Structure 1
């Protein structure tokens, strides 16, 4: 699913009105009606008090459409105009006239000196104060109104975006943003729904189709894509009947040090679990007995040193390589990594101590295989690589610049893992807090490696692995719980994640009427 920028959304609205020969007011009517239908389907006429707060721009116009339909369908509605400016949009004024012609209970005008309306915790608030066009600080009296929403503990439904939240900036005053229980976003979600500093302003979100021109939606390139099942299904490569282990490639994992051999074990299980034909590990000698004993499917080559990597030499032909899991940052390991980088021509996944070495010795970045390297940092490793950032948007800008400069892919691991491929972002929808435990990143490294060995291109392997990794956790965490979830559970969930790709949604059962 594409995530459109604010400018693209305006462009799509205008193009839709032109191509469908409708006015912007008619498009607003369509959008507001969709919001009403969503509410009506769930409430079925229930007389819970609904407070609709409308700004004086187009978001407020949407709110007036919703309020008018709620009124005409017999709901218990109070409508408010948050009068924060003397400027009103044309479509707002059109719908203001319509609601005044619908009911004798005209909207209540709220100004700076107005009393805060009485709202009960069992009531519903529809937030239509500000939309995506907000470009100024929120007035202090409006901030007080938003704080009043929070104090009442009423359920808040935001239209398109929680009021006070911008599409391309982190708020400087969190109290100036509505905390929505649910946000109904027109046509596509907003990037701010997925970033750590801004996702907290809506508990849940849903996209409503308001009939934006299909050609515009399909052909307009976006900087951000949302990755779910529909996006990864076309990536999947089915297996042929006469294929064999050689068909699915050979991966090499270079890593491990004394006390950190388990990281190689986890990465190897991830690689084989996702479908690699063969996987070999290159570790210090101390890894030999643990890996050969605990992981019979994994082949092994060892360094001459007992405890650390000192010279990376192997005589196997592989399709892709992963470096860094559990490797440590001893100077001899750094030297070995440098020599390896200068000679390597295979696709490369770098994680953990490999990233720490690159951050400490950034001259090595020039030896990364161009457009054949994936870096998989957690937040602290990312900071060491690209430097500190002011906020989430600055972080993304710096990650894109780094990716572009070094022609590599960066996987920013987090609640919504984001894959950065130069100027393009891919936001993953799977995963949960159960993944916040040691070793899950090692499994992901192995999974990317395992897909690369099977012939997936670098970007597809990364996006697909991130999706499967999160989905594996989602499918098992319901029975295991967040706190008890460990990295090996991700490996156990990979088969379920694959099977889920082809699972059809359950259809609701309709009870047959009994014969008289």
Structure 2
């Protein structure tokens, strides 16, 4: 699913109005109908007080049109016009007149008004500002927003929480509506998925308002939301007449004294995601533990006992993952630099491999093109430098990816895969995955997918999705606190099965 900018959404509105030969008012009526149907299906006529706060732009017009539908279906409502400007949109005025025709008289709020009392059991519909907000709310509107947030009532925001710009961080966090739920139109907004802006809504859902399919299909987007429909076409099914060599020989390089477990988890994940063969390359101290822990893999060592001093692979692997638990000792850093000069295939670099690159940026020129880098936030900062906010972080990540022709996996609640000017926002995963070793598992999974013939970009996008899905399955059994990285590995197979399950299977089984 594409994630459009505010300007692209406005263009989609115009395109739809022209192609479908409808008025902007008719499109607004579609929006209001969808909003009402969503609320009515859940409230079923319940006599709860609904407070609708409407701005004087098109977002407020949506709110006013929704108020009419709620009133005509017997709901107890109060409508407030947040009168923050003398300029009013045409469609807002049309829907305001329709309210007055039905003897519904909104209360107009301005800087001199006291704010209405709202009980915790009431419902607030926030339709004050939409995606076009380009300046901080006036002080009195900011105070109104704080009043709404302090009410403890359920807040339903129309399209986007009021006070939250669609293309930057808010000017002041306290002046943004804290939405219990957001009903967004046609496409999600990037701000829903970034750490600094995603905190302003607990849940969101997309309402299809019938924007023209031609525009949606043909318009390129800088970001794409990755769910099951997007990754399923990437899946490469196994062939009947195949063997272990068909699915590639992966090499996982890393480990040091006391940190062999990182290689163990990455190797196990690599094998579990489908790599035909897996060899771990570790210092001598890791030999026995790896051979005992994972009998299905092979183990190579160098001459050093507690850290890697030289990297020699006596065969040509299909994919390589390197860095986990490796350390950054001088001899290890030299071995890593020498390895980069020799390797000729795209590789996956994690953890200490990234830290060495950050300390010696001259090595970046030797990283094979199309390689995948999987930094956690601090490792990312070491690579691309400090950022002012999440939007600046994405800008710098794109510049880094373009300059070095690599794929960056920005880990987080919604991990984002960056390749040049394009971002792929993941939808799986949960807070239980914020634990040691999950990054090692991800590196192993991406390596194993590349070994099977997935392109670097598809391996990163598919691997991040499958990794999060395995974590979600693990959490359903173990809970957030008890989920371990090894539990994610154990659920990779179930994640594949969930991905490939026919959508109507549950209904068929229950029939």
Q: What does 1:54-65 correspond to in 2, within 5 Å?
A: 54-65=54-65
| 1:148-187 mapped onto 2 (5 Å cutoff) | 148-187=147-186
CA distance in 2, matches of 1:183, 1:291: 48
> Residue 52 in 1 paired to residue 52 in 2?
yes
Alignment correspondent of 1:273 = 272
Counterpart in the other structure of 1:75: 75
Question: Could you tell me how far apart the structure 2 residues matched to 1:229 and 1:272 are?
Answer: 23
CA distance, structure 2, for counterparts of residue 176 and residue 96 of structure 1: 26
1:508, distance to aligned residue in structure 2 (A): 6.3
CA distance in 2, matches of 1:172, 1:492: 44
The answer to whether the Cα contact below 8 Å between 2:136 and 2:171 also exists between their aligned partners in 1 is no
- Which deviations, in whole Å up to 9, do the C-alpha atoms of 1:16-48 show, x marking residues without a partner? 000000011111111111101100111111110
What residue in structure 2 maps to residue 445 of structure 1? 443
Deviation at 1:505, TM superposition (A): 4.5
Q: How much has 1:490 moved relative to structure 2?
A: 0.5
Residues 382-393 of structure 1: matches in 2 within 5 Å?
A: 382-393=380-391
Partner residue of 1:41?
41
Question: Which whole-Å CA distance do the structure 1 matches of 2:76 and 2:313 have between them?
Answer: 74
Post-superposition offset of 1:483: 0.9
Aligned residue in 1 for 2:122:
123
Conserved? CA contact 2:53–2:126, under 8 Å? yes
Matched, 1:19 2:19: yes
Indicate the larger mover: 261-270 or 310-319: 310-319
CA drift at 1:384:
0.5
- State TM-score, norm by structure 1: 0.97
1:22 match: secondary structure: coil
Shift of 1:298: 1.1
What is the total number of aligned residue pairs between the two structures? 510
Q: Is the 8 A contact 1:349 1:373 kept in 2?
A: yes
Q: How many angstroms apart in 2 are the aligned matches of 1:26 and 1:113?
A: 35
Counterpart pick for 1:482 among 466, 477, 480:
480
- Please list every run of 5 or more consecutive structure 1 residues that lacks an aligned counterpart in the other structure: none
How far apart, in 1, do the equivalents of 2:445 and 2:266 lie? 7
Q: What CA distance in whole angstroms lies between the structure 1 residues aligned with 2:497 and 2:218?
A: 31
Q: Distance in 1 between matches of 2:275 and 2:65?
A: 55
Offset at 1:208? 0.2
CA deviation vs aligned residue, 1:339-396 (integer Å, no higher than 9, x gap): 11011101200000000000000000000111x2000000000000001100000000
Task: Give 1:507 deviation, angstroms.
Answer: 6.0
Contact conserved, 2:250 with 2:447, CA < 8 A, in 1? Answer: yes
Are 1:335 and 2:334 an aligned pair? Answer: yes
The equivalent residue for 1:314 is 313
For 1:253 and 1:238, locate their aligned partners in 2 and report how far apart those are by CA, in whole Å. Answer: 24
Unaligned runs of 5+ in 2: none
Taking the aligned partners of 1:37 and 1:485, their CA distance within structure 2 comes to 38
Whether the 8 Å CA contact 1:253–1:322 is kept in 2: the answer is yes
CA-atom RMSD, angstroms?
A: 1.3
Q: Which moved further from structure 2: 316-325 or 449-458?
A: 316-325
Question: Is the Cα–Cα contact under 8 Å of residues 319 and 347 in structure 1 kept in the other structure?
Answer: no
Match of 1:200 in 2: 199
**Secondary structure class of the residue paired with 1:17:** helix
- CA deviation map 1:283-342 (0-9, x unaligned): 111111111111111101101111111111121221111110110000001111111101
Alignment match, 1:460: 458
Question: What does residue 351 of structure 2 align with?
Answer: 352
Contact 2:287 2:299 in 1 (8 A): yes
Contact 1:162/1:183 (<8 A) preserved: yes
